[in-house]
Amino acid sequence: MVQGLRSSRNALRRGAAVALALSVALASVSPVAAQSLTDRFKGLFGGKSDEPAQPKPAPVPGQPADDDVDCPQVTVRAGASTYAVGATGKPAVGNEIRFQATITKMARECFRNGADITARIGVQGRVIAGPAGAPATVEVPLRVAVVQGGVGEKVIASKAYRTTVGMSEGGSVPFTFVAEDLVYPMPSAKDADTYIFYVGFDPQALSPEPKARAKKK
């Protein structure tokens, strides 16, 4: 009996020691939430947060450095933050939804290229399978545009893209897409503050490009 009590006490002591060691170890780990917004954007654009930033090339004489280039804010176009697809011939509502995509995060970079600006717009989102069952892969249509705001909104440049997302058994898959080739004329100093980047889903991006008409001989 005495030996049994001693064994139980030793087991309790070992358990307490393990619990204390785990609590100390957990307390010493830096929380992931402390990751800076800059680091997350580096990851979005394909870089690694633990790598030193690569030096930028010197600007052309008489041309401002990239740090001096106004890079418009990026936001989701109203009404274009979600994209749902229904079963064949059915509206994308309720139990007829095959999958739905949403945009969760955005980022942007701007570079001066002569009289133009080349923008890199990053989009992160998630595709969730619906009750009707998602296919193995889905096509996600996106549109990125730079717009001059004001009384009469003016589209400066706009491009449609598509990205393929492979679905998993869990039915919830993140995706990342970076538009590398949005180019537009550098705005004047008085107009620069009115520019804005819009991103959103655009089903028309899945439509085939119209064929060029053959020239009559």
At residue 206, the pLDDT reads 75
Q: Residues 24, 69: one domain?
A: no
Q: Residues 25, 69: one domain?
A: no
Q: Mean per-residue pLDDT for 61-84?
A: 79
19 sits in which H/E element: helix 2-28
Q: Residues 110, 21: one domain?
A: no
Instruction: Answer yes or no: is pLDDT of 208 > 90.
Output: no
Q: Residues 13, 44: one domain?
A: no
Number of structural domains (the chain) is 2
List C-alpha distances in Å: 198 to 136, 139, 205, 215: 29, 20, 15, 37
Q: Is residue 59 part of a domain?
A: no
Mean pLDDT of the chain: 75
Predicted confidence band of residue 68 (pLDDT cuts 50, 70, 90): low
Q: Is residue 12 part of a domain?
A: yes
pLDDT tens column, 97-148: 999 999 999 999 999 999 999 999 999 999 999 999 999 999 999 999 999 9
Q: Residues 21, 39: one domain?
A: no
Q: Residues 22, 83: one domain?
A: no
Instruction: Answer yes or no: is pLDDT of 76 > 80.
Output: yes
Domain around 16: 2-30
Predicted confidence band of residue 75 (pLDDT cuts 50, 70, 90): very high
b/e per residue 27-42 (b: at least 16 CB within 10 A): eeeeeeeeeeeeeebb
Predicted confidence band of residue 15 (pLDDT cuts 50, 70, 90): very low
At residue 74, the pLDDT reads 94
> Which segment of 5-14, 23-32, 128-137 scores lowest on mean pLDDT?
23-32
Q: Residues 105, 21: one domain?
A: no
Q: Residues 24, 101: one domain?
A: no
At residue 204, the pLDDT reads 86
Q: Residues 16, 43: one domain?
A: no
Q: Residues 23, 38: one domain?
A: no
At residue 29, the pLDDT reads 30
CATH number of the domain to which 73 belongs: 2.60.40
Which two tokens mark 103?
Answer: 């945009």
Q: Residues 6, 94: one domain?
A: no
Q: Which range is most confident: 14-18, 20-24, 152-156, 206-210?
A: 152-156
Cβ neighbours, 10 Å, residue 102:
14
At residue 159, the pLDDT reads 95
At residue 156, the pLDDT reads 96
More confident site: 136 or 54: 136
Sheet arrangement for strand 97-113: 82-86, 97-113, 116-129, 172-185
